[in-house]
Amino acid sequence: MTRPTLLLIHGFPLDHSLWDPNLSALNEVADIIAPDLRGFGGVVSMDEVTTMEEFASDLFRVLDERGVERVVPCGLSMGGYIAMAMAEMAPDRVDGMILCNTRSTADTEEGKEGRRNSANDARNKGMHVIARAMAPKVLGSTTRAAHPEKVARIEAMIAGQSPSGTAAASLGMAERPDRTSVLLGFHKPALVITGDEDELMPLPTSQAMTEALPQGQLVVLDQAGHLSNMERPEAFNAAVIHFIRTRSS
């Protein structure tokens, strides 16, 4: 099997540097593309709302510019929503999928209301306030207790994002459809990764995605929360490397 290209898609409201702890290890088995999404990491956005399909189209453009036809998207949380949109929009370009700390279902009405509140908070209160509130929620209890430097790093990463980009993505997530049917029809290798301390995407969410995927495999990292790739980087990297080396189609 030829060396694949892994497209690392960051979560919300973060940027490509989320993947720093994974780049060199994963580069042993794959070419890596880890872009900033529109509105994040200094990429300017004028959008009121950025849908998952628009993020996916941006990523296909990045691939076109680099002459890359097919990829294995590896998306964390919102990045997973985008990976599933890519699989729906251009299934022939998606060779496999790695879905980390994410879900295939749409938001509830209460969840959509929360997105509108988050968008308003980003615009009105500013990213420092969002960062202070969010950092402890996205990291697991073990990381919070044992790795204050990781808490500080994530808080700074969130604080550095643009309020308007954050608001547009929040409203875009509210519009995403249920993509469980995309998983049911995805007959290629797929890996679902989560952390046993993920308070935002509880374990049954990942179990349901794995069951929906015809070739789904589930890896649960212990002592990891919502940002499993940076909370347990060695274990995360080992799971991805094993998946890449052993996938059969």
Q: Compute the least distance from the CB of residue 230 to ligand MLT, in Å.
A: 12
Q: Compute the least distance from the CB of residue 200 to ligand MLT, in Å.
A: 5
Strand order through the sheet with 5-9: 31-33, 5-9, 72-76, 97-100, 190-195, 216-221
Q: Compute the least distance from the CB of residue 220 to ligand MLT, in Å.
A: 17
Comparing CB distances to ligand MLT, the nearer of 15 and 95 is: 15
Query: At residue 161, what is the residue type?
Result: Q
Q: What is d(CA 56, CA 5) in angstroms, rounded to the nearest whole number?
A: 16
Comparing CB distances to ligand MLT, the nearer of 77 and 210 is: 77
Assess contact for 212 and 180: CB atoms under 8 A.
yes
Q: What is d(CA 178, CA 200) in angstroms, rounded to the nearest whole number?
A: 17
Comparing CB distances to ligand MLT, the nearer of 31 and 107 is: 107
Comparing CB distances to ligand MLT, the nearer of 11 and 35 is: 11
| Residue 192, strand partner residues | 99, 218
Q: Compute the least distance from the CB of residue 247 to ligand MLT, in Å.
A: 25
Comparing CB distances to ligand MLT, the nearer of 128 and 137 is: 137
Q: What is d(CA 200, CA 210) in angstroms, rounded to the nearest whole number?
A: 18
Q: Compute the least distance from the CB of residue 242 to ligand MLT, in Å.
A: 24
Residues that bind ligand MLT (CB under 6 A): 11-12, 77-78, 173, 200, 226
Q: In degrees, to the nearest 5, what angle opens at C-alpha 19 toward C-alphas 36 and 133?
A: 80
Residue among 65, 63, 64 nearest 32 (CA): 63
Three-state DSSP at 200 gives coil
Q: Compute the least distance from the CB of residue 27 to ligand MLT, in Å.
A: 24
Q: What is d(CA 210, CA 243) in angstroms, rounded to the nearest whole number?
A: 14
Comparing CB distances to ligand MLT, the nearer of 104 and 237 is: 104
